[in-house]
Amino acid sequence: MKHSSNALLKYIKRRAFVFLDYADSLNFNLYFLDTISDLQKYQDLLRQRGYAESDIENIFHKNWLRLLTNIWK
C-alpha cells in the first residue's frame, strides 16, 4: 500500500499546476508533502484563507467521486 501512496504523491506533485491555477494567493509549496497524509495541510490552508467547506470537499474528493461515478455507471 505504501507504494501506491508514494505513486499518488508523486502524481500530485507533478500536476500541481492545475490546482495552483486556483490558489494564486495561497503561497503553496508542494514540497512539504512527504506522505499522502500531508494533503490535510492543504485543507487547513484553504480553510484559513476562507474557502468554503463545500469547495474544499470538491477539491479533495467530491470531484473524483463524481468522475468515478460517471465512468463506472
Residue with cell 499518488: 8
Q: What is the pTM assigned to this prediction?
A: 0.49
Residues 6+ apart with CB under 8 A from 47: 53, 56
Report phi then psi at 21, rounded to 5: -55, -30
What is the number of structural domains in the chain? 1
At 12-45, the pLDDT tens digits run 655 554 555 555 555 555 656 677 777 788 888 8
Provide the pLDDT for residue 28: 55
Range of the domain at 15: 2-71
Sign of the torsion angle spanned by Cα atoms 14, 15, 21, 26: negative
Residue with cell 514540497: 31
